[in-house]
Amino acid sequence: MRNHKVKTDPHLFRMTWAGMRNFEIRRDDRGYRLGDTMTLRETVRDDAELAEGESHDFTGRMIKLNIDYVLLGPVYGLMNGWVIMSTTVTELIDV
């Protein structure tokens, strides 16, 4: 089992924090697998701002998740090299 530490846009982070989002869609560049864990790190800026050259600053808030299910593409419109993961929050870290 591995723990994947990933950055997450503020609006998606807030939805997960509030319990309204229990999935992740990610490029499968880390080999996500059932039973792995994930630590979401909230960024100050979203992807559009980061694409414009802004820095990867973090708020310090994190969410620890268990990965409960992994759907690997290509299937159902999900592209090859991408995954949809069902997740369960195990810890909220607010600094």
Confidence at residue 44, expressed as pLDDT on a 0 to 100 scale: 87
pTM of the model: 0.90
**Residue numbers in the chain where pLDDT is lower than 70:** 49-50, 54
Domain that holds residue 43: 3-93
39: number of CA atoms within 13 Å, CB side?
Answer: 11
Confidence at residue 48, expressed as pLDDT on a 0 to 100 scale: 73
Confidence at residue 71, expressed as pLDDT on a 0 to 100 scale: 98
Question: Domain count of the chain?
Answer: 1
Confidence at residue 45, expressed as pLDDT on a 0 to 100 scale: 75
Q: Mind giving me the DSSP string for 2-55?
A: -EEEEEE-HHHHHHHHTTS--EEEEE-SS---TT-EEEEEEESS-HHHHHTT--
Confidence at residue 61, expressed as pLDDT on a 0 to 100 scale: 97
Q: What CATH number is given to the structural domain containing 79?
A: 2.30.130.30
Confidence at residue 58, expressed as pLDDT on a 0 to 100 scale: 92
Dist CA 55 CA 65 (whole Å): 25
